[in-house]
A and B are shown apart, each in its own frame.
Chain A
């Protein structure tokens, strides 16, 4: 019963209580009376009735007022309080009841407020703890990712299905370098989150290694397995596998959930090994017959001193000939294999100016001796062990300081052919070569640090030389270090330009994803997508227009992976239309010399493997791809989602579903557009924003999205 009805009932009861006893009493008395008495009473009462009525009414009004007041304070007040308590319980945690009304109600309100206070404190505490725990987990993840990305080894982490969960930059570069043939246009992108490692490494070998690890685990041995595999391009890889065990489990019961692969390309070191073998062989086996010939001839000459002069002459010729040939062969060997003979000590490729900068810092720091630089070739790489080289420079500086007290030292870096010259220059009197010889042969010490190495050791280690030389005209001298020049592999690292923050090289949530193949009834947010866009010579694919650029990126686990991209210009093998050039910004000379569609399309097909395709106005791009199916033999048979249609599904009443308009509508800010890759990235952002909006409409799976797309008006436009 509503509070209002109860109030009305209470008023009625009050009215009845005030009049009821009087009326009943009067009725009983009335029935008991005789006619004359009734007559008299009527007269008596009627004359005084107004006074009685007024008094009664007056009492009734006061009663109602009291009742109303009580009602307001206790019933309505409590109801209001109940509402605010509900509010505190749910929507607004910070709301508090205002204590009002009679003291009892106020006390109740205060007690409720105190309870709320206590609850808030508890909840805050829990939330702080959760936040702290989350932050530390995130920090650990980031630390791990940072550590991995800086590692000099290529590391790939996979789950048991061979799907890649994590890889580092070195792995990306290494596999990029490995990518051969058509796949190289994809920029080595075949390594990617959620992709299969078996596209890079031999499946049987990986599984065999897995088996070995299981056996070793069962046998209580160190769980590690090694194998060497060859890639399609003939490179040799040494792979080491260690297991990733399920968290929380203890000891032998722990199950293997994945593995870490450390990959090292040993092709080069094997080649060097082989070269060294070859040198050894040339020097040993190769010398045998020559020396055999000489020895036989010499013995004959010695044993038969009285042989005819003509014969003697012939034996001498043999000796001369063999010795000359031997000398030549030694020269050739040295020239050919000098690199592999030298590189026993692990030398790294380092910029010459970095070595000098390090030496300058230490000399100024430890010796308080000012330094300057002269001519510096800042693009010169040397093969060096930078620590010992810098030590040698500081050591020489310290010796110079002790003996000649130069005011400053200068550095110079030049090169000649395969040799780099690093000069340490000072102004002062000539020094004797004996002095330098002693410096060369003594254990080095400088600025309180010592090493058992001598300067000579360091020089030998580098396969270099060092000497002392005077510049008479300038009244100064220098020590010249000769070091082998290195030609480091040029690594184009365009990561920093693309996207901010840490590269997306890891996704541990993928541990929970076993099967990644396309199932139309999976949630939209669970699938792996390739979002792509093409630039073309024109708008009529069936009329001879051709693709000139394909750009694509991947969405894995509802995340856009800006590092895993496909970006390739295509030679259309026909002239570009001048009017289209301002639109796509691609000129004739940009596409000439690029691979043609026969090469690019299979590579792109491989990039898209096992993914759902997404494009804006996909029908247009797909038409281009389909027209090439016969020629290239690749078919794009996977499901295709169109962001234009999906946008129309979400916002059926909007007029335009152009990419620019959608970007603005969804509040996505994109810096540059109208290049296939940028547009593909923009399309990906749009798709990620559309997923939750589609879910609101009950469109959760890929199948539902495809069906809904088909029903929109825009789906009827055909190319």
Chain B
């Protein structure tokens, strides 16, 4: 069965690329446009991995990450944070809040795909 990936970002310009890419790699893909939707879809879609943007309306990526990590049902979910915030302090915060990986924009799509595959293979 194909792995399920949830893409969470409020910017359609990146969502379109990520969605295309992940589908090409053979994953089952769903998209959420803000933090609240992300939490709802995390429950209904039950993804294996989440690509999570930090800067979003309603709930930030940090908040979403925290909420998911507090939910024992979502224990197996892998979270990759995608963010334009590249400071060391923010990377540290993301990882501390329970993200499995932290990718700073702009990123190489090849690297991202490789990372996602590697994480799912674990």
Contacts of B21 in A (CB 8 A): 296, 300
Contact in complex: B109, A293 (CB < 8 Å):
no
Contact residues of B between 71 and 122, Cβ < 8 Å to A: 82-86, 104-110
1/0 per position for B10-43, CB-CB distance to A under 8 A? 0101101110110010000000000000000000
Contact in complex: B20, A311 (CB < 8 Å):
yes
Contact residues of A between 288 and 339, Cβ < 8 Å to B: 288-289, 291-297, 299-300, 303-304, 307, 311, 314-315, 318, 321-322
Contact residues of A between 265 and 302, Cβ < 8 Å to B: 284-286, 288-289, 291-297, 299-300
| CB-based nearest B residue for A325 | B13
Contacts of B86 in A (CB 8 A): 284-285, 288
With A300-B21, A311-B20 given, is the CB distance from A288 to B105 under 8 Å? Answer: yes
With both chains docked as a complex, state the minimum distance between the C-beta of A622 and any C-beta of chain B, in angstroms.
63
1/0 per position for A77-88, CB-CB distance to B under 8 A? 000000000000
Contacts of B110 in A (CB 8 A): 299
- Among A284, A285, A321, the most chain B Cβ lie within 10 Å of the Cβ of A285
Contact in complex: A296, B84 (CB < 8 Å):
no
With A285-B84, A292-B84 given, is the CB distance from A314 to B107 under 8 Å? Answer: no
Contact in complex: A314, B16 (CB < 8 Å):
yes
Contacts of A285 in B (CB 8 A): 84-86
Contact in complex: A293, B14 (CB < 8 Å):
yes
Contact in complex: B14, A292 (CB < 8 Å):
yes
Interface size on B, residues (CB 8 A): 22
Contacts of A295 in B (CB 8 A): 106-109
With A285-B84, A285-B85, A288-B86 given, is the CB distance from A321 to B13 under 8 Å? Answer: yes
With A300-B21, A322-B13 given, is the CB distance from A289 to B109 under 8 Å? Answer: no
A16 to B110, CA, bound (A): 153
Contact in complex: A296, B85 (CB < 8 Å):
no
| CB-based nearest B residue for A291 | B106
A35 to B106, CA, bound (A): 170
Contacts of B104 in A (CB 8 A): 288
With both chains docked as a complex, state the minimum distance between the C-beta of B50 and any C-beta of chain A, in angstroms.
17
From B17, B24, B84, give the contact of A297 (CB < 8 A).
Answer: B17
Contact in complex: A296, B109 (CB < 8 Å):
yes
A219 to B23, CA, bound (A): 71
A285 to B105, CA, bound (A): 9
With A297-B17, A300-B20 given, is the CB distance from A288 to B106 under 8 Å? Answer: yes
Contact in complex: A300, B109 (CB < 8 Å):
yes
1/0 per position for A707-718, CB-CB distance to B under 8 A? 000000000000
Contact in complex: B13, A318 (CB < 8 Å):
yes
Contacts of B106 in A (CB 8 A): 288-289, 291-296
Contact in complex: A292, B105 (CB < 8 Å):
yes
Contact residues of B between 31 and 66, Cβ < 8 Å to A: 55
Instruction: With A288-B84, A315-B20 given, name 10 new contacts (CB 8 A).
Output: A289-B11, A289-B55, A289-B106, A292-B82, A294-B106, A295-B106, A295-B108, A296-B21, A297-B16, A315-B17
Residues in chain A within 8 A of chain B (CB atoms) = 284-286, 288-289, 291-297, 299-300, 303-304, 307, 311, 314-315, 318, 321-322
A-B contact pairs, 15 of them (CB 8 A): A284-B86, A285-B85, A285-B86, A288-B106, A289-B84, A293-B14, A295-B109, A296-B14, A296-B17, A296-B18, A296-B107, A299-B110, A300-B21, A315-B16, A318-B13
